[in-house]
Amino acid sequence: MRRVFADTYYWVALTDPREPRHSDALAAGRSLGSDPVVTTEPVLIEFLNFFSEQGSHWRGRALAMIGTIAASTQIEVLPYEPEGTFQQGLLLYAARPDKGYSLTDCIAMQAMRDLEIYEILTNDQHFAQEGFVLLLP
pLDDT for 39 equals 98
For residue range 25-64, what is the model confidence (pLDDT) as tens digits?
999 999 999 999 999 999 999 999 999 999 999 999 999 9
CA pair distance 104, 93, nearest whole angstrom:
9
CB within 8 A of 65, min separation 6: which ones?
11, 14, 15, 47
Mean pLDDT of the region 52-77:
97
CA atoms of 118 and 132, how far apart (whole Å): 5
Average pLDDT score over the chain: 95
Kindly report, residue by residue over 99-136, the tens digit of the pLDDT: 999 999 999 999 999 999 999 999 999 999 999 999 99
Phi, psi of 128 (to 5 degrees): -65, -40
Q: Structure pTM? A: 0.93
| 4-134 fold | Rossmann fold (3.40.50)
